[in-house]
Amino acid sequence: MASSIAGIGQIAITVSDVDTALAFYRDILELPLLFRPAPQLAFLNTGGIRLMLTTPQGAGSVGGNSVLYFKVSPIDAAYQTMLERGAKGEHEPRATAELSDHTLWLAFLRDPDGNLVGLMEERRHTPPSPA
């Protein structure tokens, strides 16, 4: 039986203050704001997947969320730009895995609530030049 899941439509992250989190995700990471239906909610676009910023609503705790990994390129420049905009750095960009067709690079930031935010770049290997 085939899965009825077609992909991820939305990711929620629990924050203590939506205005502060919105300033980080919109202004530092430059994610476009989609809409803000209430003071405790904001929705941003992450390349076709909605990111919902919300205060704790029954379940969830501030700073105890899963890690979001955002695709960037080049990772070194993106990381530096985000630091210059006020992000708190956790780990500078570094190669973490050599795969057959690319090298996986990761870097980490912290949002205002201490949630870990990952940046990732898949650097494709350059095929050897013909002799």
Decide if 55 contacts 104 (C-beta within 8 A). no
In a domain, 76, yes or no: yes
In a domain, 131, yes or no: no
In a domain, 4, yes or no: no
- The count of domains in the chain is 1
Q: What is the pTM of this model?
A: 0.81
Range of the domain at 54: 10-124
Decide if 13 contacts 51 (C-beta within 8 A). yes
We report the CATH number of the domain holding residue 58 as: 3.10.180.10
In a domain, 118, yes or no: yes
Q: What is the pLDDT of residues 116-128, one digit of tens each?
A: 899 999 999 887 7
Helix (H, G, I), strand (E, B) or coil at 79: helix
In a domain, 5, yes or no: no
Q: What is the pLDDT of residues 13-69, one digit of tens each?
A: 999 999 999 999 999 999 999 999 999 999 999 999 999 999 987 666 777 777 888
Q: Which of 47-61, 78-92, 96-110 shows the lowest per-residue confidence on average (mean pLDDT)?
A: 47-61
Angle (CA) 41-44-48 rounded to 5° is 135
